[in-house]
Amino acid sequence: MHTLQSFPAAAALVCLAAATGCAPVATTEIQLHRMGERVTAGSLVYNVFEDQWKAQLGQGADARVPKDRFFLIRLSVVNGGSTELMVPTLTLLDDAGQTYAELSNGDQVPDWTGYLRRVKPAETLQGNVVFDVPPKHYRLRVADETSQKLHDIDIPLNFASETPDMPTPQ
């Protein structure tokens, strides 16, 4: 008789476990924005202005050569909060879902924003971030100050900026 009394309790426990175990996992939807739009992620406001593909950075013997291509993205980040914040590192995402981390070395990158970026309240950080990636279509993934809220900024593939600087004849 004792076995029959515990059966309803065990059955209820199994049903509860099954119901919660099969519940869909809450996923955060990543919003897609166009280049040039203001993107608010928490207290940080991002704006991507332009991009450039570079076969190298610098000139002559000091030139820095990438594995694939250097991809510079000019952006601004405004701290709309009331405390100093760190701007999270940025990531590129291609159409196949492959991710690429921003480079921590900004040697010869014009107006490099730096890799560890602190922004005071109401302050604007502006400059270039750099990636070493194959030339193709990408989305720039940006995050809030806690890296919990993600947004993607669509960056159209454009090779117009890849025209090399030609030395002037003397």
Contacts of 44 (CB under 8 A, 6+ apart): 77, 78, 79, 80, 81, 85, 87, 119, 142, 144, 145
* pLDDT at residue 30, as a whole number: 87
Give the SS3 label for residue 15. helix
Could you tell me how many residues make up the chain?
A: 170
Amino acid identity, residue 12? A
Q: Which domains does the chain have, with CATH numbers?
A: 28-162 (2.60.40.1240)
CA–CA dist 155, 147 (Å, integer): 21
Average pLDDT over residues 161-169: 47
74: CB partners within 8 A, 6+ apart: 48, 49, 50, 51, 52, 111, 126, 127, 128
DSSP 8-state assignment for residue 156 = -
pLDDT tens-digit readout, 18-37: 444 444 444 467 899 999 99
Q: Comparing 159 with 91, which gets the higher pLDDT?
A: 91
Q: Quick one: how far is CA 136 from the chain centroid?
A: 16
pTM of the model: 0.77
The SS3 assignment for 79 reads: strand
Residue 5 pLDDT > 60:
no
Can you state the percent helix, strand and coil of the chain, rounding each to 5? 15, 40, 45
**Cα 77 from Cα 40, distance rounded (Å):** 10
Which tens digits make up the pLDDT trace of 87-140? 999 999 999 999 999 999 999 999 999 999 999 999 999 999 999 999 999 999
